[in-house]
Amino acid sequence: MLRCRIPATPDVAGVAPAENLLSLGFVYHKKGKNQILFRDIVRPSAVKSGICARLKLGGNNYPVKSKVKRTSKSVSYGGCIPSVLRALETFPDLDEALKPWEDSLSSKERTIILKEQTDWRRAVEIFNWFKRKGCYELNVIHYNVMLRILGEAKKWDLVGSFWNDMQSNRIMPTNSTYGTLINAYCKGGLNKAALAWLSDLYKQGMEPDEVTMGVILQTYKKAGKFQKVEQFFQKWSSDVYADCETQKGYSLYTYNTLIDTYGKAGQLEKASRTFTQMLGEGIVPDTVTFNTMIHVYGNNGRLEEISSLMTMMDEHQCVADTRTYNILISVYLKMNDIDTAASYFSKLKVAGLEPDIVSYRILLYAYSVRNMVGEAEALIMEMEELSLEIDEYTQSALTRMYTNLGLIDKSWSWFEKFSDKMSSECFSANIDAFGEKGHIHLVEKAFSCCLSKQKLSVLVFNVMIKAYGMQKNCNKAVELFDGMIGYDVVPDQCTYSSIIQLLSAAELPHKAVYYVRKMQEAGFITDCIPYSVVMTCFAKLGEFRTAEDLFKEMISFKIQPDIVVYSILINAFAEVGNVHEAMKYIDSMKSAGLTLNSIICNSLIKLYTKVGYLREAQEVYEFMKLSEDSPDVYASNCMIDLYSENVMLREAEEIFDNLKCSGKANEFSYGMMLCLYKRLGRLGEAFCIAKEMQTLQLLTSSLSCNNMIALYATNGRTKEAVETFRCMLASGIPPDDGTFKPLGLVLLRHGVSKEAINQLEYVRGEDAEVGLEEWIKAICSVLRFDLNLRHVGKTSSCYNMEPFILNLYEKEFAFKELGDVKQGLCG
């Protein structure tokens, strides 16, 4: 088995041979058994600046670049090689080209000739010429060169043929052969085949060298298999160095790969430790290293460490490149610091670097989503001068920017400018931008343009249906959906879900259920959500049996109901006080292994409150108190109502006090306690509650105002009763029968006959506006109160019932559940 041997491949891994390191100012030091490479000169300023400490590198010296300049000279060959290569370029016929050297080429010269070929066809032709001559021995190195050339050209059939040729000629593959194959297949995107070659390598008793190991790490990393990267690296390290007395540091390429892997896996500490280990082993980081570390720290919001890394780059004489600045721009945009991001774009230019397409696109997109139209347009001008294309992603963001700012003409002209080269996805993004702001005429124009360009797709139809849905235009949405087949576009799961949601929201469940069944036929229903949406609508409209039928239909298709589906049915039957049906679904839910949640508990408490089941409600309420979700204000109010009905003052006060302490007590909580105290004759407490409600401004419904007016009227506090009535009108709260009943009692006590009060009610029954005016006149006249009731009535549009009606609808929705408990609490 090959162990402890890492082939020297500096041209691939980027690592200089050890003997050359001495000339670059590096020396070897020994520390224990491990031989580590250190720089013999350390910049004092780096240590003093505290950079190492901020990056958790400790106080150790770290390597910096040598000031010795490396010289690079182009590869040149001696001997006959230049002449051979020229001849091969000049004469297509190999016999003619190679005739002067027909029998004299050495094995090394043949290797160079093959290696220098840029066309895989020519390389195969030359290789076969050598083979055909018979006087040349072709060894594993020649095959390795050919495998590399063919792998780069992705000629996998020929790669297999050459491999089989090696086997038939008994030419044993080496570590380098497997490394070449693994590298070729990885770069060709055939990761499974690459790992199969790796498995074969192990079967031959070999270990991959560091370059091959790095390629495999990259393969796992690109596939997102970060744990596999770590496992493979640890196994490789332990296998390679198992029998070695000394351990050589890994290459820069390996460290860069590991740091990037840990960064992408979100493992900041491991990335930082690997960086520290690299510096400790004397490996000089390059720009790629620093870029990766900046990206890793940036993704974790560690701006202080980024600043330290930038300083360290200067210490290492490592010049930031365009990618460095792009990463910095992205990092600060992620932190929503647009000003700093823009400043790095400017610094990029000041540094003498050219912003690339990525630089422009990330900043332009950031300006677009923030509606920074001036900055965006300035950047667009720069890009146009440099002939840089705006990508579709940014183009649609710019359309949305103009649309959001109400610049409709610019938005449309921007759309038209790019419409000729838009993909279907880009059309859908633009249509969505128009649709979200309600510009349905632009939506339809964009759709027509998309149709003319033959770019229709299911995504385009989905955003069109969404746009019509936002306009509540069900007919158009249904028409579009039904016409999809005519355009050879098949609805997907999102299309069906959208139309079902739209029709259900419009309270058209009978139409919605048609599409649920079509969705079922198409095989797109994988859960109970489509059914639950329509069932909710049926339940809301009181069509409980239809909702039940859908439930049974869903079960017949072996679609398991979830807790939401059960809660729909339980709540529906709770609304009408049907204990038997509600409990049937409770039992079914428990049989399915589902446990009660807060929604179902609320439904049960509502049900038990309606039918007056105190003990059962108490059991559910106690269960809620022991669960993770403590009882909410609705459940608590229901319990207060039940305790009020059963004249259980202490229990009601306990819940009410808990609600007050937690800041959850609402208007209904106070209203029920007011009625309970009034019923028990505890007028002092009742008046205190009334005062608190006024202080906390908890008089927003007719029910609360009526209860307070009744409290004052029945206890002879006429002034407070009339003042509450005045405030009610001033707040735009519409009076109802419950308002005028206690006010009639006030007038009766002040000498107004029952006949006169009945006449006021008759007028109000005939014409609400006139009747309200007559009541106001009567109160002001009989009671001789100047409480600006007339003024309130006129300025607050009390004679105009339209605002009252609108307000009533709003309050009715908010207080529907509460008002259902019992309208006449204080009757």
pLDDT in tens, 423-441: 999 999 999 999 999 999 9
Of 599, 585, 598, 642, nearest in space to 618 by CA: 642
What's the Cα-to-Cα distance from 420 to each of 148, 377, 415, 446, rounded to whole Å?
42, 21, 10, 12
Which sign does the torsion angle of CA 311, 312, 313, 318 carry? positive
Of 464, 388, 471, nearest in space to 424 by CA: 464
- 372 — phi, psi (to 5°)? -90, 75
In angstroms, the CA 115 to CA 109 distance is 10
Position 250 pLDDT exceeds 80: no
The per-residue pLDDT for 63 is 56
pTM for this predicted structure? 0.64
Position 472 pLDDT exceeds 90: yes
Q: Which residues of 737-756 are buried (b: 16+ CB within 10 A; e: fewer)?
A: ebbbbbbbbbbeeeebeeee
The per-residue pLDDT for 579 is 87
Position 502 pLDDT exceeds 80: yes
In angstroms, the CA 658 to CA 636 distance is 9
Which sign does the torsion angle of CA 520, 524, 528, 534 carry? negative
User: pLDDT band for position 207 (50/70/90)?
Assistant: confident
The per-residue pLDDT for 812 is 35
Calculated CA dihedral for residues 269, 275, 281, 285, nearest 10 degrees: 180
Q: Mean pLDDT score of the chain, rounded to an integer?
A: 82
Within 10 angstroms of residue 412's Cβ, the number of other Cβ atoms is 20
Three-state DSSP class for residue 9? coil
Q: Across-strand partners of 27?
A: 38
796-826: pLDDT as tens digits:
433 333 343 334 333 333 333 334 333 333 3
User: pLDDT band for position 178 (50/70/90)?
Assistant: confident
pLDDT (average), residues 82-96 = 87
Looking at per-residue pLDDT, the higher value among 202 and 7 belongs to 202
pLDDT (average), residues 781-785 = 79
Tokens of 668: 């209904």
CATH number listed for the domain at residues 320-390: 1.25.40
Q: Which residues of 16-39 are buried (b: 16+ CB within 10 A; e: fewer)?
A: eeeeebeeeebeeeeeeeebbbbb
Of 179, 183, 191, 251, nearest in space to 221 by CA: 191
The per-residue pLDDT for 660 is 93
Three-state DSSP class for residue 370? coil
606-645: pLDDT as tens digits:
888 888 889 989 999 998 888 877 888 999 999 999 999 8
**Percentage of the chain with pLDDT > 70?**
84
Within 10 angstroms of residue 663's Cβ, the number of other Cβ atoms is 7
Three-state DSSP class for residue 303? helix
- 69 — phi, psi (to 5°)? -80, 135
608-619: pLDDT as tens digits:
888 888 998 999
The per-residue pLDDT for 210 is 76
The per-residue pLDDT for 255 is 84
The per-residue pLDDT for 62 is 53
The per-residue pLDDT for 133 is 80
- 26 — phi, psi (to 5°)? -100, 150
The per-residue pLDDT for 191 is 79
Same fold, 1-11+42-66+210-316 and 320-390: yes
Position 159 pLDDT exceeds 60: yes
The per-residue pLDDT for 507 is 94
In the 8-state DSSP scheme, what is residue 93? Answer: S
Position 56 pLDDT exceeds 60: no
383: Cα within 13 Å, side-chain hemisphere = 21
CATH class of 1-11+42-66+210-316: mainly alpha
Position 132 pLDDT exceeds 90: no
Among 4-8, 44-48, 786-790, the range of highest mean pLDDT: 786-790
Position 333 pLDDT exceeds 70: yes
Contacts of 691-695 with C-beta under 8 Å, sequence gap 24+, read 693/667
**CB-based burial of residue 706 (10 Å sphere; 0-12 exposed, 13-18 middle, 19+ buried)?**
buried
Position 787 pLDDT exceeds 70: no
Q: Helix 268-280 to helix 252-264 angle, to the nearest 10 degrees?
A: 170
Tokens of 274: 């690997």
What's the Cα-to-Cα distance from 584 to each of 539, 581, 592, rounded to whole Å?
16, 5, 13
The per-residue pLDDT for 422 is 92
Calculated CA dihedral for residues 571, 575, 576, 577, nearest 10 degrees: 80
> Structural domain boundaries of the chain?
1-11+42-66+210-316, 78-172, 320-390, 699-827
Three-state DSSP class for residue 290? helix
Tokens of 744: 């009639």
The per-residue pLDDT for 150 is 92
User: DSSP letters of 177-198?
Assistant: HHHHHHHHHHHTT-HHHHHHHH
The per-residue pLDDT for 739 is 93
User: DSSP letters of 707-729?
Assistant: HHHHHHHHTT-HHHHHHHHHHHH
658-686: pLDDT as tens digits:
999 999 999 999 999 999 999 999 999 99
Q: Please report, in angstroms and rounded to a whole number, the separation of the first and last CA atoms in the chain.
A: 96
Which sign does the torsion angle of CA 328, 331, 337, 342 carry? positive
pLDDT (average), residues 492-498 = 95
The per-residue pLDDT for 247 is 54
Helix (H), strand (E), coil (C) string for 586-651: HHHHHHCCCCCCHHHHHHHHHHHHHHCCHHHHHHHHHHHHHCCCCCCHHHHHHHHHHHHHCCCHHH
Three-state DSSP class for residue 302? coil
Note whether 509 and 541 are within 8 A (CB).
Answer: yes
In the 8-state DSSP scheme, what is residue 31? Answer: E
The per-residue pLDDT for 823 is 38
The per-residue pLDDT for 607 is 86
Note whether 242 and 275 are within 8 A (CB).
Answer: no
The per-residue pLDDT for 692 is 93
- 9 — phi, psi (to 5°)? -130, 65
- Alpha helices (runs of H) in 751-815, residue ranges in sequence order: 754-766, 768-783, 789-795, 801-814
709-737: pLDDT as tens digits:
999 999 999 999 999 999 999 889 999 99
